[in-house]
Amino acid sequence: MGTSIKLDGSSKKQVLGAACIFMGLAHIMYLKQYLKGVVLAAFELIFIILSPTIYENIRKLFALNGNLANPSRVRLIDGLFYIIIVAIFLVAYYLSIRNALDSYVECCLDGRLKSQKESMSGIAGKAFPIFGLAPAFILIVFFVVLPLLFSMLAAFTSYSNKDMIRFKWVGFKNFADMFGGNASWTESFAGVAIWTVIWGLMATVTCYLGGMILATVLYGAKLKAVPVFRSILILPYAIPSLLTVSVWTFILKSSDIGIINKTLISLHIIDANSTIQFLSGSNSMARVMCILVNMWVGIPYFMLLITGQMTAISADVYEAASIDGASKFQVFKSITLPLVVYQTAPLIIMSFTHNINNFGAVYYLTGGGPNTNAATSAGGTDIFISWIYKISTDQGNYYMGSVLAIFVFAVLAPFAIWNFTRTKSFKEGEL
């Protein structure tokens, strides 16, 4: 095989073949980019030397059967680690082939091979961003991607606090149990799913409407004290939600130490033995309380958001409507409402996805109860995120928690992607 190439594009297959045979081979043989070729070749040699270790760890990953000498968790993490290494190597191999072809095209356009000085200058310019991003890339891969993959694969194992050391692959058994194979799990899943959707819709709609009403009233009020009222209404949003929800938990306690019940008892409206069970009685009462407390926390956010959108509407539009004889309600219905809803629609959708995963608003208020199912830990006010937490922490049932986490991701990811594709940065190609 000759080491010379034609610079008219006819040697493309020759360059491609060498690049495919071994990393850096085309750079050394044909493109005379010796330093880059040696670095790429060394990268593949290191991978080849480590390949027996890589193969053995990946093999042990797929051979989890509960009878291994070392803990299955270690085997799973090691196997995933080496799978990521293989994926990085394959991507690097592909990029080296692309680079060889791109370098050949540049040589064809210039009509000559680049000198060593030109090649070194090009490498230095292109290597800087790579080395700059490498630490962040490594951290993301091994501290974000690896744990996520471990959590996902746990759904296909028997990983739990009772089977933490010698767990094994069980395939889709956990998914089958959750989605129809086990009556207790399926019933709990259906109940939590329905309430999660209702909760997400009600929490979003009530907060949005409440924010719209407050923003409209304060924006149209001709009072000097409007900034004071607005500042007071912002306080529930400014205070950490954990603290706010904890206070409401104390206020709504069913015992006689709960502020509402204690007040009603002192007024002789109710008896000490018949206190109102706001959070620990029926599921319906507890759910209503969750929605009301969430309104206390969420309405100020939408009030601020909608007020900002209202101030962006040109005063000329309102003046024209006033000249035409439109009433305040007609102005609100035909001008303010459509413009505000149009501008805030993506945020409404993201608020819905946020409420679906609003762990604190439910768990810190009710703990997911009342009427918790002992077998599945699902309570009357549990949404998916709180149920996942209880399954994992209270039961140590990590594989079922992983099944639910995968389901929630599959449902919410399209909302996030759709909302992202509507952003100006995405449409203009900046991301």
> 307-336, pLDDT tens digit by residue?
888 888 888 888 898 888 888 888 888 888
Ranges 43-52, 315-324, 373-382: which has the least confidence: 315-324
Domains of the chain as residue ranges with CATH: 12-156 (no CATH), 175-427 (1.10.3720.10)
Burial letters 118-153, b for 16+ CB under 10 A, else e: ebeeeeeeeeeeeeeeeeeeeeeeeeeebeebbbeb
Name which of 94-98, 343-347, 398-402 the model is least confident about: 343-347
In whole angstroms, give the CA distance from residue 279 to residue 253: 7
At residue 314, the pLDDT reads 86
- pLDDT value for 429: 53
Q: What mean pLDDT is predicted for residues 132-150?
A: 90
> Is pLDDT above 80 for 424?
no
- pLDDT-derived band of residue 10, with 50, 70 and 90 as boundaries? confident
| CA separation for the pair 23, 93 (Å, rounded) | 6
Q: How confident is the model at residue 236, as a pLDDT? A: 82
Confidence (pLDDT) at 431:
45
Q: What is the pTM of this model?
A: 0.83
Tokens standing for 403? 């099944």
Kindly report, residue by residue over 76-130, the tens digit of the pLDDT.
999 999 999 999 999 999 999 998 998 888 888 888 887 777 777 666 667 777 7
- Closest Cα partner for 229 from 241, 215, 242? 215
Mean pLDDT, the chain, integer = 87
pLDDT value at 199 more than 80: yes
Half-sphere exposure in the Cβ direction for 162 (13 Å, CA): 5
User: Does the pLDDT at position 1 exceed 50?
Assistant: no
Tokens 């100020």 appear where?
300
pLDDT at 131: 78
